Structure 1
Amino acid sequence: MAQPAAAGLGIAVAGAGVIGRRHIELIQAGPRTRLCAVVDPQPASRDFAAGLGVPHFESLEQLFAGPGEARPDGVVLATPNHLHVAGALACARQGVPALIEKPVADSLEAGLRLAEALAKQATPMLVGHHRRHSGTLQAARRAIRAGLLGRVVTVAGSAQFYKPASYFAQGAWRAQAGGGPILINLIHEMDNLRYLCGELESVHAFASNAVRQFAVEDTAVMTLKFASGVLGTFTLSDTVASPRSWEQTSGENTAYARYASQDCYFIAGTRGSLAVPTLQAWTHGPDSRGEPGWMTPFTEQTLALEAVDPLQAQLDHFCDLIDGKAEPIITVADALQSLLAVEAVRRSIATGETVALRDLAANPRQP
């Protein structure tokens, strides 16, 4: 049962790490929410919760078995990746909506199991791909859907940046298999491209560790085929001095230096093109002969942008889900497609073959 509107929606946060504490800050500052509990097995989290003046529980099971006043209206799952599925299932059994941090699962098999289980019940679940709440992505998506570019034909994307030596010194696992930019960074990009261009059909990828010579890749290049027929390329590297990544161009995370003149996506269609996140658009109408062509001057414009904090917008959306006022902007089944895309990239690199996402979903255990 939801709390009275004046009291705000009671949100529990499971996981008191960096991202969990960011969620807590937003919940405490929000006019629609109140922090009702912290769930974390680490001893230090007990003192953290006490300092916030809220109950502490070591597990979701303890939370749900606790006193009625501690029962949440919703739960933010900011736990380690391998606990996302178990946490989401625990919330679903209690009929409590959850915001599941990305990635939705730590493996394709686990994600498929979760999607299958949740398909049988009605509790709303939101996956924390917070960039979908970005005013920039929303504006680009609206323009594409409104036909500003005509039929989209190609997309070129980039996530290129330089991770310093200290990044790897702080976590030796980052230099080992599973610690490279494919598993750490690429899922955000695949979700962005899917949100703008539709579902992916297949990928073909190559990777290299030639620069750092770690046991994991430092660079990958991939070709993408979307179900709509759009063809794309994407370049990923954590060892190049480049400003062309979402974090360095969008300005949405102030921890990064911003290069506002640069873009990380370029989407081209039959009537025009769009650069993201600058939202520069080039369109042309018919020439003197009544048809557009490569000699036709473009009309240049910058799309209007309503700047928002994506994490705050995500929390507002989560509140709407709890109140029954909205459907999830990204469900578990939807987020699973981004996880499939990343796994398809990994499989293509391993096999040297083009990998279809449909085949991968049907055979998730295939090496």
Structure 2
Amino acid sequence: MTRILVSGPGLIGKKHIALVKDNERSELAAIVAPDRDGNQDLARDEDAPFFSSIETALREVKPDAAIISSPNAFHADQVAHCLAFGIPVLVEKPLADTLEQSRRIVEDSEKCGIPVLVGHHRTYSPLLNTAETFLNSEKFGSLVAFQGAALFYKPAEYFKEGLWRTRLGGGPILINLIHEIGLMRHFCGEIETVFAFASNHQRGFEVEDSVALTFRFRGGVVGTFLLSDSAASSKSWEMTSGENPAYPTFSDETCYHFAGSHGSLDFPSMRVRYYDKERSWWEAFEENRLDLTRFDPLERQLEHFLDVVETGASPIVSAKDGYRNMLVIEAISNSVTQGRPIELTEIEKPWRY
């Protein structure tokens, strides 16, 4: 039985706690959180020791692993404590608050040989397996271009409950786009160049509410992406994947489009079109819809984390993956500020090891 400490019992933290308790391979070792907002009551309800300090919790409970779902600003420090204690860590995205902190986590993990996983949980969705089967087929051919969107409307209460979300660093680029970056890298390969335009014209907050992005991937693939948290639209992972019942689901809608040399895929509606014979815009496509299965990717992520802890399996989304995602976010922020395309090589430093 793997004993897991959970730090940060917020919305996603509570989900982690429930999954840890429900899994027959794991046990909730402790909850770490500020000593307020009913956190002690939560720990008592979950029959788990409560600590306001992760250092004290590690020393007294001696867990086998930790899940860090605290606010972004605490990720780097709490991961560092876990690595110093010698236990594997699953840390929610983004890996850290800054690019330099993310880089330091990678270096510390590599140096001590303790794995750090990053909670880009969409990577574990069965939707990806279904899509990849077609994307790797002769019917699709080679990837030419990608289109994506994350368009949704966050209500006023969302910002009243957290005023930090109205300020720089609290907008959809860091909170929401980081998920999309991970999936774009997963499907399309490494991102080499980004060009981004941002706007705050809808809400007038200090932080952006809408962004238009262009990407160039390694190997020549190009892509575009629209992001907004002030758009009344259903074109987002949340409203198309059916992953989270808290959101309405539009099963016929799409949030990603993959265009290949022989065919195309709309995701996650899984509608495919391809040329059976001659490739020409005057020729009709063969069309169908791929069969798919659904299950909770967070549950699958925990199973993988337990494999890493118990058997030494390699992380599917490693600390270095989390760093690469943060590197793209940094390039996007630089592009918005400077008004020009940004090559990732401009901001990436050589590793010290």
Does the CA contact (< 8 Å) of 1:155 and 1:232 recur in 2? yes
Does the CA contact (< 8 Å) of 1:141 and 1:195 recur in 2? no
1:15 match: 8
Q: Could you say what the CA RMSD is over the residues aligned between the two structures, in angstroms?
A: 1.7
Q: Is residue 346 from structure 1 mapped to residue 333 from structure 2 by the alignment?
A: yes
| Secondary structure at 2:112 match in 1 | coil
Q: How do 1:125-274 and structure 2 match up within 5 A? A: 125-274=116-265
1:35 match: 28
TM-score of the pair, normalised by structure 2 = 0.94
| Secondary structure at 2:5 match in 1 | strand
Query: Match for 1:337 among 306, 324, 330?
Result: 324
Residue identity opposite 1:322 in structure 2: V
| Secondary structure at 1:323 match in 2 | helix
How many matched pairs? 349
Does the CA contact (< 8 Å) of 2:139 and 2:275 recur in 1? no
Question: What is the CA deviation profile of residues 207-245 of structure 1, one whole-angstrom value per residue up to 9, with x for unaligned ones?
Answer: 112222222222110110001211000011122211101
TM-score of the pair, normalised by structure 1 = 0.91
Deviation at 1:270, TM superposition (A): 0.4
Q: Is residue 111 from structure 1 mapped to residue 102 from structure 2 by the alignment?
A: yes
Question: What is the CA deviation profile of residues 174-205 of structure 1, one whole-angstrom value per residue up to 9, with x for unaligned ones?
Answer: 22222222122111111111111111001001
Distance 1:32 1:258 in 2: 32
Residue identity opposite 2:94 in structure 1: P
Where in structure 2 are there 5+ consecutive unaligned residues? none
Residue identity opposite 2:222 in structure 1: L
Does the CA contact (< 8 Å) of 1:100 and 1:126 recur in 2? yes
Does the CA contact (< 8 Å) of 1:140 and 1:196 recur in 2? no
Residue identity opposite 1:339 in structure 2: M
Quote the sequence identity (%): 41
Distance 1:349 1:49 in 2: 43
| Secondary structure at 1:362 match in 2 | coil
Does the CA contact (< 8 Å) of 1:178 and 1:216 recur in 2? yes
Deviation at 1:299, TM superposition (A): 1.9
Q: Is residue 52 from structure 1 mapped to residue 39 from structure 2 by the alignment?
A: no
Of the structure 1 ranges 212-221 and 19-28, higher mean CA displacement relative to structure 2 is found in: 212-221
| Secondary structure at 2:322 match in 1 | helix
Distance 1:145 1:343 in 2: 31
Distance 1:295 1:340 in 2: 42
Query: Match for 2:267 among 247, 272, 276?
Result: 276
Q: Aligned in 2, Cα 1:277/1:58: closer, same or farther, shift over 3 Å?
A: same
Does the CA contact (< 8 Å) of 1:199 and 1:227 recur in 2? yes
Deviation at 1:146, TM superposition (A): 4.3
Residue identity opposite 1:310 in structure 2: P
2:302 match: 315
| Secondary structure at 2:259 match in 1 | strand
Distance 2:337 2:97 in 1: 19
Residue identity opposite 1:59 in structure 2: S
Does the CA contact (< 8 Å) of 1:14 and 1:76 recur in 2? yes
Does the CA contact (< 8 Å) of 2:93 and 2:118 recur in 1? yes
Query: Match for 2:19 among 12, 26, 30?
Result: 26
Q: Aligned in 2, Cα 1:41/1:162: closer, same or farther, shift over 3 Å?
A: closer
Q: Is residue 286 from structure 1 mapped to residue 277 from structure 2 by the alignment?
A: yes
Distance 1:344 1:127 in 2: 20
